[in-house]
Every structure is written in C-alpha cells, then in structure tokens.
Amino acid sequence: MNRRSVLRTAGVLGVSSLAGCSGLFETRTMARAPPLVKNRPDAVYIPTHKEGMEMAGMAKQGRYRLALFYSYPHRFWLMGGGTAKQEKKVTIKDADDLHLMASVWDSKTKTVLPTGNVQAELSNGDWSDRRSLWPMLSQNMGFHFGDNIGLNGEGKYTAKIRVSGLDVRRTGALAGQFGDGATLTTEFEFDTDTVEQISYEKLDGRKGQKDAIQPMEMNMPMSHVPQKSDLPGRLVGEESSGDAKFPVTAVENSDFAEDTYLLVSPRTPYRRYPIPNMSLSATLKRDGEAVFDDALNATLDPDVGLHYGANVPSVRTGDELTVRVDSPPIVSRHEGYETAFLKMPKMQFSV
C-alpha cells in the first residue's frame, strides 16, 4: 500500500497548490505522519510506520561509492550533545518535498563508512541548495546521511555530494585510505507521482513494542557489524547500556595493538548497526590495581566494522573491567531509536 492510499483511508489528506516555475499548477500532498506512540519505552521500539524508498542515483570516485535515495519527508531527531535534554525533534514542513539519504562505502572491502561529514548541493537550472546532511540511524536502512529537503518543483536535478575525509583510525585494508574526501555527482528525476507510489505501511499492531523492523533489502552494502561470536579474540563478555549492546573481546597477536587489543563493539539491538559518534573509556583492574585506565579509540576495520579499542598489557582471568560511555552517541535518529542510547550507565565485566 502506498502512502496516498493510506492517507485516503485515514481521511487526513492535505493538499496545497503551488505555482511552479513553468507557470503550471502542481498539486502537492503535504507530508504527515501518524501521532507518536504514547509512553514510548527508553529503548529501541517498533515505530508507527515504515516507508519504502527510491534510488535517486549512484556515483563513484576512486574507492568511494555513493548511493543516493529518497523517500517521504519524515520526522527525525537531532542529538546536540547526546542527552535527552539536548534532543531536538525535526518536524515535517510544508516546503519539504522528500527525505534525501546518502550511503557511502568502500568499493574494495564493501565497508560502509559510518562517520565523517557529507554535504549535498542540489541544482535545477538556476536554482540550487546546499546543506550538510545529518549522520543518522534508521531501522530499515542502518547508518546513512540524510535530511528533509524542499526542491524547485518537478524535473531533473544534479546532486553533488561532498564526502569529507575520515578522522577515525582505519585498520586492515582501510589503513591509509579515505583520509582525503571526494565529490561524487549523480542526477535524478523528481516527480510527485513517483514519490507518492513509494510504499508506506502503518504498524498499528506492533508500534511501541521493544523490537525493530526488518531492514530493507538493498543491492548495496549495509552497515552491520559482526555477530559477537564472529568478533576476533576471546570474548570477555557482553553488557547492555541505554539498550545498546556492548560485546567486548581481548585480541592477542594481531595488527590492532602491540600487546593485547581490548575491543568494544557497540551495536543496536536486533539489527547490529554500529553506533558512531560516541566517546568510550575503560578501566582494567588486576588485584585491585589499574593496569589500564584511558579512552578507547574509534576505529574502522573492514572485518570488525566501526568499534572502539585500545592497547592493554593483557587481559587475565580474575581481572575486573569497567567500560564507560563518556559521551552518548550524537548521531541523529529516525523514529524507534530516539528514546534509546541516551542514559548510558557504565558497565562492569568480570573476566
């Protein structure tokens, strides 16, 4: 069922007439979304609805690969400092025509690059608009960059997507790569009929439950991190904080570190999406004395994905490990993630 059908059934269809640059009148269906779930849990939950999306275009430069998508404009949440008080809901405006989404990955390792900055410049004839896209998490797409955008009516658009160089540590086949940014260009055709045919499903029977909807089937890399059983090294344990999962391993004899690599792999529950833009630290105690007490570095590896880690002297049976979330993730959220990953108490592990 597409959104037009849903809205017709619900009887909340709103329209306005706009004069396009051609002088013709076009009809725009104003974007709306169902009311938010009452008493949302402080956890990942099923949103009120799920939307499909359309491919706008693809581009490549060097090892950079870009896929550009669009869907209906929708509400999302900005995370100024990662706390509930600093959270800001972005509502749908009458001028919004679509929600533009960009995914960037490495052509060699198929690793989605879940960090950095992305700017989009859209142009249509003499009209242009430039903005920074927000790094975002959504349940059906994982990590991407996006924003609601108003266009210059129907027609062909050129999209120049500027991707900044990465400022996180890269390892394995990503070492030495993506320090320099790139500009990738593609074109797409925008017409309201195509947008209105994008699938739209209300989830009245499940909304608000602790769970997550299935990701979309996409013919492109997704930003999943490995199962905890597939992480390298010896599993120290897995704890939860703010509804995020934190498996921890100790990796010996690897290129990650000189001694033992303490690897922490935060991920969303249910879908194993990496959680970027947070600050972690850890204290490892042995016989009551700290043998490590420092920050964990954000690192991107083609086999492990985005994780946080540090070199420690060793990890032995009887050690006590504390992992702290010093700064909750300041990644923007689609509905279903906005109440999670806010209050994130420290985690204790007994080795």
Q: Is residue 285 part of a domain?
A: yes
Q: How many domains is the chain built from? A: 2
pTM: 0.89
176 in the same domain as 57? yes
Helix ranges restricted to H, the chain: 3-10, 192-196
191 in the same domain as 70? yes
262 in the same domain as 189? no
Q: Which domain holds residue 105?
A: 45-198
Of 154, 175, 198, the residue that ends a domain is: 198
79 in the same domain as 191? yes
243 in the same domain as 183? no
193 in the same domain as 53? yes
What tens-digit pLDDT sequence spans the chain (351 residues)? 444 443 333 333 332 322 233 333 333 444 467 899 999 999 999 999 999 999 999 999 999 999 999 999 999 999 876 677 778 999 999 899 999 999 999 999 999 998 889 999 999 999 999 999 999 999 999 999 999 999 999 999 999 999 999 999 999 999 999 999 999 999 999 999 898 899 999 999 999 999 999 998 888 899 999 999 999 999 999 999 999 999 999 999 999 999 999 999 999 999 999 999 999 999 999 999 999 999 999 999 999 999 999 999 999 999 999 999 999 999 999 999 999 999 999 999 999
Of 142, 175, 198, the residue that ends a domain is: 198
Do 99 and 136 touch, CB atoms closer than 8 A?
Answer: no
Strands 200-202 and 49-51: antiparallel
Cα dihedral 67, 71, 73, 74 sign: negative
58 in the same domain as 187? yes
Do 40 and 336 touch, CB atoms closer than 8 A?
Answer: no
Instruction: Give the whole-angstrom CA distance, residue 184 versus residue 123.
Output: 14
Given this model, what pLDDT does residue 114 score?
A: 87
Q: Is residue 66 part of a domain?
A: yes
191 in the same domain as 113? yes
Q: Is 350 helix (H, G, I), strand (E, B) or coil?
A: strand
191 in the same domain as 111? yes
Find all residues with CB under 8 Å of 338, minimum gap 6, and list them.
76, 77, 87, 89
